[in-house]
Amino acid sequence: MGLWVSFAMQMIGYLLLLGDANYLQFLSSFDIVSIPVFLLTGTYVAQVIVTSSIEVLDDLKDSMLAKQDLIVRNAIMSKQSKTDGLTNLYNQSSFKDYYDKAYEYANNGMSLHLALIDIDDFKAINDTYGHRVGDVILEKVSLIIQENITSSDIAARYGGEEFAILMFEQSFEQAYAMVEQIRQKIANMGHLELDGAFVTVSVGLKSYSPHLSKNKLFEEVDACLYAAKRTGKNKTVTSLDLPNLKSNVSGI
């Protein structure tokens, strides 16, 4: 629109000049006709260029928006593929990938502690109150885990009512204090969904050791968890406790 306004103003100016006899003596018949044709053609070409530029810019904008949307969708899909939909913790598949990498780092000198946490008597909760209430309890337990681990740690829903935590950059005593804090906070939380009843968890904990394979380390942590279950629940059992409990736990 601005180009055509400019053209109109130029034409008005040109017509005014044509009324000047002194100006006309410098123009031939060809000039009189060619000047407005030139102005019209120039304006049209400029309009085409501007319109094309706007279309190109619109196409670039649409392309960038489409790319941004694709990036966001891919990020969401990537997160969904790595996390558990109910608890927002990493899922078992992601945990196994992180565990493989963590074990490699531990072989190179990084501290590593593995904890397995299992909700006590969870089947009874589902059977008594229904699976929806069971899901609420899983969400609450996972939230306590998330709130009490450090930014360096990795927590996952390993399966069912079982959770796994990889802890780095801390001593065994610090790792033990962390999982105990998680266990105690869960034990002290009453649940309206369970008519005010409490939920407890059992925990197995062990640190990386060079003589243990990746699978053996996991098996020993699982054995600690099993011992906690069989000797009263609502407790944390470590590899240091296990020798004293073996006589009381069958199958270990």
- Are 125 and 213 in contact, with CB atoms under 8 Å apart? no
- Phi, psi (5° rounding) for residue 83? -115, 160
- Are 204 and 116 in contact, with CB atoms under 8 Å apart? yes
* One-letter amino acid for residue 36 of the chain: P
CA distances from residue 247 to 115, 192, 206, 238 in whole angstroms, order as listed? 23, 39, 20, 16
* One-letter amino acid for residue 52 of the chain: S
Report the candidate in 176, 201, 65 with the shortest Cα–Cα distance to residue 125.
201
22-31 long-range Cβ contacts below 8 angstroms, 24+ apart:
none
Choosing from 55, 161, 162, 173, which is the catalytic residue? 161
- Find tokens 């120039």 and name the residue: 42
Catalytic, 161? Answer: yes
Q: Rounded to whole angstroms, how far apart are CA atoms 121 and 134?
A: 11
Q: How many residues are listed for the chain in this entry? A: 252
Residues involved in catalysis: 161
